Amino acid sequence: MFTGIISDVGTIVSLEDRGDLHARLSSGYAAEGIAIGASIACDGICLTVTDRGPDGAGAWFDVVLSAETVARTNVRSGRRGWAPGRRVNLERALRLGDELGGHIVSGHVDGLAEIVERRPEGESVRFAFRAPAALARYVAPKGSVALNGTSLTVNEVEGAVFGVNIIPHTLAVTTWGEAEAGDLANLEIDTLARYVARLTEYATPA
């Protein structure tokens, strides 16, 4: 489990298709602090560390992405898919006793949201996203979503389009400062919203 609070921005070092997609990323995490078998969310995708080692002041680590994961995420979709040199948001798995600063995030991507607008608003940046039709019903004003692994609060919703406001600090410590209209973001809807919607369905008379 994760919180959607990004703790580092890593860089893709290499990608290799071997039936599944093998990726190596560099990070600012200490090599001795990364256990083989540990989970790291990479742009919101929960991935398992298969190897790791020191890389200057930080570490490199390897992960494997199945065909299912690649198909459901922005890894090979859109104009800014994964490629060497691309930066990705990273978060280590939540540990018992850690501060829950965002919301509960599983790292299981539900679909892709397209950025339809980016505009400055004061010191912040306002983004508008279009959610897939099947997921739009789970997005509510003042609710939470995870986009590329970042816990964000929904400001407004109009049909399948919803807006979020990203403050300067978040822009500086994540990849959101680089995002542009037309990009596809990994979307994970709030687990609570999913269960509330399902309970409402069961409570509605046939």
Give 21's strand partners.
Answer: 17, 65
Please state the pTM of the whole predicted model.
Answer: 0.91
Residue 187 above 90 pLDDT?
Answer: yes
What is the per-residue pLDDT across 132-160, written as a single tens digit (0 to 9) for each?
999 999 999 999 999 999 999 999 999 99
Average pLDDT, the chain: 92
Indicate if the alpha-carbon torsion angle 52, 13, 104, 5 is positive or negative: positive
Rounded to an integer, what distance in angstroms lies between the CA atom of residue 47 and that of residue 1? Answer: 11
CB 175 within 8 A of CB 87: yes
Rounded to an integer, what distance in angstroms lies between the CA atom of residue 13 and that of residue 84? Answer: 5
What is the per-residue pLDDT across 40-99, written as a single tens digit (0 to 9) for each?
999 999 999 999 999 988 999 999 999 999 999 999 987 789 999 999 999 999 776 666
What are the structural domains, with CATH classification, of the chain?
A: 8-92 (2.40.30.20), 111-201 (2.40.30.20)
